[in-house]
């Protein structure tokens, strides 16, 4: 949230300085601000979903499953003993 506030203030100050020099800049700035807030809202929703999925994949069940799959032998049972590797 702090990053958003800092970037918003920087962008706002640049637009204000540009508008003092050329007032026509507001014609372009208003739709850009609207687009910026829409993208931010989409990003927050997506970020929240990704964090939820990451938490799910780090749950103990998935870690046990991963450990089990990593511990399984790569060859058929008994094939090494019979020399068929």
d(CA 71, CA 67): 6
Asked whether 42 and 32 are in contact (CB, 8 A), the reply is no
Q: Both tokens of residue 65?
A: 């499953």
On the question of pLDDT at 41 being above 60, the answer is yes
Of 46, 23, 24, 26, nearest to 34 by C-alpha is 26
* pLDDT for position 10: 93
On the question of pLDDT at 85 being above 60, the answer is no
Task: Round the average pLDDT of the chain to a whole number and report it.
Answer: 78
Tell me what the mean pLDDT of segment 64-70 comes to: 73
Top pLDDT among 44 and 64 is at 44
pTM beyond 0.75: no
């Amino acid at each position: 949230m702090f990053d958003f506030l800092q970037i918003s203030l920087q962008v706002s100050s640049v637009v204000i300085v540009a508008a003092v020099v050329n007032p026509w800049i507001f014609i372009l700035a208003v739709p850009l601000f609207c687009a910026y807030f829409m993208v931010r809202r989409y990003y927050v929703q997506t970020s929240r979903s990704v964090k939820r999925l990451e938490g799910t994949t780090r749950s103990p069940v998935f870690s046990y499953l991963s450990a089990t799959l990593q511990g399984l032998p790569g060859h058929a049972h008994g094939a090494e003993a019979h020399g068929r590797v």
